[in-house]
Every structure is written in structure tokens, then in C-alpha cells.
Structure 1
Amino acid sequence: MQISRCKACEYRFKSGAYSVRGRLDTKTRVGRYVPISPRTCKLLDEYMRETADFGNEYLFVTYEGHKVSDSTVRENIKILGKIARLDRAKVAPHTFRHTGALYNIYGGDPFSLQKILGHSYMKMVRRYVQMTNRDVQTQHAQYSPLNYVFK
């Protein structure tokens, strides 16, 4: 799980991105930059100030200052799912990734999403973005060529 291996030195404050190392941290062994919103950057900055005294190279640490484990991330996400009353949904790290991908596609484009997710082929991105009929109808209504012909 990539989030448990994030190192503080790979977080780019000024550019608002996180540098994912390609050597061991990705399936494709290809590195990438993942954009981070200004609000998230602000929260990460606060978090890093709070945890700086631990002197740990990892970005996310336990209350004792040790590197957070994959199982701790999974457990915390399940707890947050219960708090949010998502009893029927599968609440797991990959579900968060999938949900984030869906939010990105509605406000972005599939090519940016492919780069953010680190997929080599668009075929993999399509698995994340299975549009419903309603989604297709909404997209068509918004971007139909006739909208531009008859203004």
C-alpha cells in the first residue's frame, strides 16, 4: 500500500505534489507525481509540524512515532466507514482510490486520471470509470455538439 510508504522528503511543498518512487513502490516500477490540492497541502503541512519531533522519515506515523503499517491504514479506514455509516459499502483503501478516481473523472479528464493513477494503459483506467446510463446522458446533454451550433 503506497500511503504507508510515503516519505516526508518526497512531498513537494511548492509544487503541491507527491513524488511516488518507481523503484519499489509501484507495480510498473515507473515513478510519477501525484497532484495534491491546496487544502490537502495545508493539512499535510500542519500534520508534519505536529509529527516533526518524532524524526521519522515516513510521512504517516503512529502516536508513538513509528511508521504506520498497512493493516493500521486498513483498520482506520474501516473505522471511518463505520463513523460515516457506510455499513453496506465495502470500505477499504482500494475503494477510496476508486471513489477518488470517479470524482476526478467528473471534474477532469481520463488522461489526467491515467497519469495520477499511474496506469500504463487506458484499459486499466476504464475499470475505474464504468459510467452508468445516467452519467452518459448527463455528459451528452452537457457536451452535445448541438449545444455549440445553436447558441
Structure 2
Amino acid sequence: MAIDQLADGRWKVDVEPIKGKRFRKTFKTKGEAQRFEATCRSKIIESAQWSPKPRDRRRLAELVDCWGRLHGRSLSDYEGRRVIMDRMVERLKNPVAITLTAADFAEYRARRLASGISPKTLNNELSYLRAMFNELRRLGEIDYQNPLSLLRAIRVQERELSYLDTAQIDQLFAVMRNMRHPHVELIAMICLVTGCRWGEAQGLTVSRVADGALQFVNTKSKRRRVVPIDPKLADRIRAHLREHGAFSNCRDRFDEAVARAGLNLPAGQKSHVLRHTFASHFIANGGNILTLQKILGHSSLAMTMRYAHLAPDHLQDVLAFGPAREFRHFFDTPRSEHQPS
């Protein structure tokens, strides 16, 4: 019993409102004991610490829905990301989310990897799911730790960044001029001279074209970016938009031009090759890496550093400051012991 009378006439309270929280106390009167017991039990209602939430039994698909409603729809890539996440949930057999472990996801990833799925795709899946758990925890929708927080991404071999030389640029633009498409050549030219993404160039309007600069607003980083251009090109862009209207989606036509020009580019780098070409020529001509970061709109300098090896003086400090200059005599071809001096 919660309240019991002892042999000496006092009253003992032994109450456990919730498992793990037990209180024992002795009182002179039964009334005091009853009031203490009532106080302990009322704590269950009044204090969240005394009344823990029932275990979260929502399945992974329910959390994806919750994330989409509260946060995901604000992301520019939500639609594509949501498709990937829904398919991932289906392949994981939609477990109770709180029971998902890093080992479970690692097993899932190993099966996908063995079936031929690229490591980059699997890293994207991990980052999407991990970001979902992080965001729901920030929002207070879940009160447990992110199960994937310590799971490492697969190390991926850095891909070669392809870029065009002057002859290839001339060849590609000659093909686009002969296609007689109203927009594709001008969009490609904008990408080439500013390093912008194809979608950023395609979204330009007359109001975003100044006499000496283009203003990009629908950017991947969500930050407005202004890049200087030749005033003659600015005049041409404004005149084109007034005559033909807004740029249409013509990335497929650009891919077609690349094929017609006989340019063999790595997968996924067709329209991006113009951005790489701008960056590569900028650095090779002596441009500053920090300036390039601002032009390209990279949030991290690490992304821009992929082009650093093209700088004329890249790593030349190895020769200038390393020990090689003090031991140059070691480089001489050794003479045979029998070779006359």
C-alpha cells in the first residue's frame, strides 16, 4: 500500500508515481501522509519531467511528410529530393524511425553499392536523410539523437573537371550559330563570360541587366550575385530579351550542340563545362582564387580550390622554398668509379 501505519502509530508513505521515481516519508498523522501522497501523484500531471512522453512510434515515411511540411517545401530542390527520399523509405521498408540505426543504413548502402549504384548517389541519400533528422530535432518534432550523425560518407575519387580550350570554344559556338535557335547561343555566351550556372543565365530578365553587370538572383546559394560584363554584351542581352521575350529552357539543345561539335565530356558536365571553362581560364590567366569564389558564388573556398592547380605559379613554392635548391648537386648524374675525371 502507498500509506501504511507503523507499530509506533506513525504513518509511512511509500509512493512511486512513475517507474524509477519512488518516495518514502513518515508522518505523525494520516492526513499529512495523504496530502504528501496526493502531491507526489499530482506531479505527473503538472510536470513534463514527471510525465514522460510515450515512445515515438512514427514510421520513417511519416517523418518525411512532417519534414516536407515544416521545412522541405522551402528548399529549391524539394521536388527532386522528395522523390529520392520516398524511394529510399520504400527500399528501407519504412521502419519505425526511432529504431533505425547507423548499422541498418550501412547495410542498406552496402546492398545498393553492390548492385552498381554510384557512391555519389549513396552519399546524397545519406546527406538527405541525415539532414531530415537534424531539422526535425531542431524543430522539436523528435526528441532523440540523429541515428545517422556518426555515419561517414563514402570517400569518392574526385572527378576530372573538363574545360574547353580556345579552339573548342570556337567550334562549339559555330555549331550553335548554325542551329538557329533563338536563345541557346546567347545563354551559353553568358555562362562562358560570367561563370554562372545554366539555370542562372536562363532566369535573367531585362531588369537584371545593367550597363556593365548582370545580377543573378535565383542562385543555388540563395545569395544575390553581381558579375561585371562588357557593356556591348549587356546591350545585346537587353535587345534580345525585348525582341524574343524571356529565355526558354534550351539545355537539351546545348547538349545537342556539344554532341555535334564532337566534344567528349564527362557525364553530368555538359552545360557545366562552360562554368568550368570560365573558372579554368580565369585562374590560368592569373586571376585571384578569392575573387573567383565570389564570382562563382561558392559558399566554401574548398569548392573553388579545385581550380587552383591551373594557376601559373601553382605549387612553384616547392622549387623556390623547398630543400631542392640547396642540394641541386645531388641531381647530377653520378659518374662511374671507372669513369675518368
Measured against the shorter chain, the TM-score band is 0.5 to 0.7
Which letter does structure 2 place at the counterpart of 1:77? F
Gaps of 5+ in 1: 61-67, 147-151
Q: What do residues 51-103 of structure 1 show as CA deviations (whole Å, max 9, x unaligned)?
A: 5245x4x3x3xxxxxxx11xx1x2222233234321x2246211211111111
1:141 to 1:81, Cα distance in 2 relative to 1, 3 A: same
- Rounded to whole Å, the distance in 1 between the matches of 2:314 and 2:219 is 35
Residue of structure 2 in register with 1:20 after alignment: 216
Q: How many residues align?
A: 119
Higher relative contact order (CA 8 A, sep 6+): 1
The within-5 A match list for 1:10-89 is 10-13=208-211, 16-21=212-217, 25-36=218-229, 38=230, 41-54=231-244, 56=245, 58=246, 60=247, 68-69=248-249, 72=250, 74-86=251-263, 88-89=264-265
Structural mapping, 1:104-115, within 5 Å:
104-107=282-285, 108-115=287-294
Which runs of 5 or more residues in structure 2 are unaligned? Answer: 1-198, 322-341
Looking at structure 2, the residues matched to 34 and 81 of structure 1 have their Cα atoms a distance apart, in angstroms, of 26
Aligned-CA RMSD value: 2.8
Say which one has the larger Rg. Answer: 2
Matched, 1:97 2:97: no
Q: 1:95 to 1:18 in 2, by over 3 A?
A: same
**Length-normalised TM-score, structure 2:** 0.31
Q: What's the TM-score, normalizing by structure 1?
A: 0.64
Q: 2:200 maps to what in 1?
A: 2
The 1:29/1:130 distance shift into structure 2, 3 A limit, reads same
Structure 2 counterpart of 1:149: none
Secondary structure of 2:272's match?
A: helix
Structure 1 runs (4+) deviating above 3 angstroms are: 140-146
